[in-house]
Amino acid sequence: MTQVYLDNAATTQIRDEVIDAMTKVMKQHYGNASSTHSFGRSSKSLIEKSRKTIASYLNASAGEIVFTSGGTEADNLVLRSAVRDLQVEHIITSRIEHHAVLHTVEQLQKEYHISISYVNIDATGQVDFSHLGELLQNPKKTLVSLMHVNNEIGNLLDIQRVADLCKANKALFHSDTVQSVGHYELDLQKIPIDFLAASAHKFHGPKGVGFAFVRKNSGLKPLIFGGEQERGLRAGTESVHNIVGIEEALKLAYSNLETERAYIEDLKRYFIDKLKAAISGVTFNGCSGDMETSTYTLVNVCLPVSVEKSAMLLFQLDLKGIACSKGSACQSGSTQSSHVLAELLSDADLQKPSIRFSFSSYNTKEELDYVIEILKEFTDH
C-alpha cells in the first residue's frame, strides 16, 4: 500500500545521522554524567558540548540552555517559576496557544489567583498589536506568552515586535517556539526574549528531549527538584544519548536550512495550487494558505464536505495510507473540535472537515499528487 506521511507538525522522522550519533553514545558513553570517574566525565563533556552547539545556533550563551524532556516541560518550567518565583501576577496570552501553555496558565490562575488576559486575534488568527499594547499597561508584573509558529494553522508571529513591545513595557516575554526552532533562524542577542521552549522531535531528532532558553540572571527556579543537574534548574540523571541527538538534529537542521526550506516551500505552493484546481470551494484556515504570513511547513485545509461525510475523512485517508491530522496530535482521540479553529471559524465551517497537512524534506510531489487524488475522490462522491 502507498504510504504518505504528512504529519510532520506532530512529529518527524529521525535522521539517520542522528540515530547513528545516539547509538554511539548508548554503546560507548553510558556513564552517569554526575559521576566523577572517567565514564561520568566523558558523558558530562558530551552534554556540555551539545549545550554549546545549541547555544551557538541561537546566538545565546551555553548557560542559558536548560535541557528538558520536551516543549511541554520547558513551557511549564518557565510559566510556573515566573509566577511562583518571579512574582508575576498577570499573564497575557492568546486563546489559540498550545495547551501546554493554556492549561498551565489556567492551573496557575487556580493556584495563585493571578490575572489572565487574552489578546484579541483577527479572523485569520493574527495578534492585534494595539490590544497587546493596551494590555501591557497593566501595573501588575506581567509575562506575555505567545507562540512563534502556531502548530495548527501555521501563523507566524512577529516575534521581534512582541519582544520589543514587552521590553518597552518592562514585561517578561516567553514564546513556545516548538514549531520554529530548527526551521527559522533565531538570534537571541537581537530578539530581547526572556524564555523559549523547543523540542527535538519537531526537527528530525528524538522524542523525549527539548530545552528551555532562560535568559541569564532571570531568577528562574526549578520545576523538578532533586540533584544539581542542569545547574540546579532541572534535577534528574541526564539522558545523554537524547541530548547528543538534539544537538545533531539541530546542527543538521541549520546546516541544511536554506536548501530544505526552499524544497519544502515549493512542496507547499504546489499542494495549495493543485488543491485549489482539483477541489472547488476548498479554503485554508488561519494564514496557512499564505506563504508570507504562515510557516512553510504546513497547511490547514477546510474541505467542502457534508457533516455526515466529514466524520469519516481521517479514517478514509488512513485506510489509503495517508497520515495527517485534524489538529494538534496532543488532542487526537478527543471528541471536541480544535480549540484553535473554534476561535476562527463559523459554526457552519466548523462542521466541515479541517485537516492539517505538514511537510518535510522527505516528502515528494508524487506523494502530494496521490493525496490530492484521494481528497478529490472523497469530495466528489
Residue of 98, 132, 125, 156 whose CA lies nearest to 292: 156
Give the model confidence (pLDDT) of 186-240 as tens digits. Answer: 999 999 999 999 999 999 999 999 999 999 999 999 999 999 999 999 999 999 9
pLDDT at residue 337, rounded to an integer? 76
Rg (CA), the chain: 21
Residue of 104, 99, 62, 90 whose CA lies nearest to 247: 62
CATH 3.40.640.10 in the chain is located at: 16-255
Residue of 88, 112, 116, 113 whose CA lies nearest to 102: 116
Question: Low-confidence residues of the chain, pLDDT below 50?
Answer: 331-334
Locate 155 and state its grid cell: 501563523
Fold observed for domain 4-12+256-380: Aspartate Aminotransferase, domain 1 (3.90.1150)
User: β-pairing, 298-302 with 283-284?
Assistant: antiparallel
Burial class (CB in 10 A: 0-12, 13-18, 19+), 326: buried
**Cβ count near 361 (within 10 Å):** 18
pLDDT at residue 333, rounded to an integer? 47
CATH 3.90.1150.10 in the chain is located at: 4-12+256-380
Active site residue 330: yes
Give the model confidence (pLDDT) of 130-186 as tens digits. Answer: 999 999 999 999 999 999 999 999 999 999 999 999 999 999 999 999 999 999 999
- Give 155's contacts (C-beta < 8 A, 6+ positions apart): 124, 125, 126, 149, 286, 287, 288, 293, 294, 295
Q: Domain 16-255: state its class.
A: alpha beta
